[in-house]
Structures are given as structure tokens and as C-alpha cells.
Amino acid sequence: MIQMKRIYIKEQVCIGCRLCEVYCQVGHSHSRDIIKAFKKESPRPLPRLVVEVRETISLAVKCCHCAEAPCIHACLTGAQRRDPESGIVTVDEEKCIGCWTCIAVCPFGAIRQDTYRGRIVKCDLCTGEDMPVCVVNCPNEALLYAETEEDVLARK
Ligand code: SF4
Ligand code: SF4
């Protein structure tokens, strides 16, 4: 298995502010500008993670880049694939036909429909950046970027 960094969640300190969603949208926008992304871009860029809130409990739901990723096995066109060097599970937008099979098999509910474009969007760990933008911008360090869960526990 490829040793890679993943995003780990500390739901004890997540306050459900949804800033991670906002910055994910900006990070995946054309302009990379918060005002332009929300006010000018059409369609508005979609977040690749979603904050679920139930009463006082909240947490960000996003792709776990599973070692045995069901979406890769289920994808009909080979659009879902793992980058052999980084280990990141990505989608080739040119190959995605919007059949939503990967959404049905994802155990985390981490893949979203982009109905406007007829394809899916998912977390790409902000490929090319030093750290995912949701991790950088979470005000409470409820999202941590680490190689193992032990590394996360060591930071508590
Ligand atoms: S930015 Fe952090 S605290 Fe706010 S909803 Fe996202 S994970 Fe929770
Ligand atoms: S929606 Fe796209 S990525 Fe998902 S299984 Fe279908 S073709 Fe593959």
C-alpha cells in the first residue's frame, strides 16, 4: 500500500461553520478568488466535501482515498483511478459519463453529482498544493493532514 497523507477528522472540535466547504469551492474555482467564485462564476464551483450536522455533532464528509477503493472497481469507464505515485484517487473528467455507479458504492457518501456537467466531483486532496485548502482554513484544526491516525492522536 502506498504511504500517503490523508485528511483526518477531529469531530470533537468541528463547529459546523462550513468554512471548509467554502474554501474547497474557492480552491476548485476558475478564479481562485472568493468573491468571483461565489458571485461571478456560473455554475458556482461545487465543494468536494460536505459538512454533515446533527444537533451538536458536525463533521466534514470527504473521500478517504481508500486503499481498496470500491469506486475504482465499480467505475464503468475507468474514469476513477489511483495515481500510482501519490496514491490519490482521482476522476478523469473526460472519461466520466455520469452514471453515478461510484456514488452508489462509496461507503462514505463522499462523491457528489455535478448535474450541470453530467459528471462527478470528489476530493483530490488539492493536488499540487502543499496542503488541502480545507485543512489550511479550518479555524479549529478539526481537519488534520497526516500519514497515519497515530500521527493525528500524537497532536492532541
Ligand atoms: S471548517 Fe473546520 S470547524 Fe468548520 S465545518 Fe469545516 S471541519 Fe468543521
Ligand atoms: S459516475 Fe463517472 S466516475 Fe462514477 S462510475 Fe460512472 S463513469 Fe465512473
Tens digit of pLDDT for each residue in 64-105? Answer: 999 999 999 999 999 999 999 999 999 999 999 999 999 999
Q: 138 pLDDT exceeds 70? A: yes
Together in a domain, 115 and 128: no
- Tell me which residue range forms the domain holding 97: 67-121
CATH code at position 43: 3.30.70
CB 58 within 8 A of CB 14: yes
Q: Work out how many domains the chain is built from and give that number.
A: 2
Binding site membership of 14 for ligand 1 (Cβ less than 6 Å): yes
Sequence letter at residue 36: K
Residues 6+ apart with CB under 8 A from 45: 25, 26, 28, 29, 30, 37
Together in a domain, 9 and 26: yes
Together in a domain, 41 and 94: no
Residue whose C-alpha is closest to residue 48's, from 65, 66, 73, 67 = 65
Together in a domain, 55 and 129: yes
Binding site membership of 77 for ligand 2 (Cβ less than 6 Å): yes
- Which residue in this structure is represented by grid cell 454533515? 52
Together in a domain, 24 and 46: yes
Reported as a single tens digit per residue, the pLDDT across 21-73 is: 999 999 999 999 999 999 999 999 999 999 999 999 999 999 999 999 999 99
Q: 1 pLDDT exceeds 70? A: no
Together in a domain, 15 and 56: yes
CA-proximal residue: ligand 2, atom 6 (nearest): 99
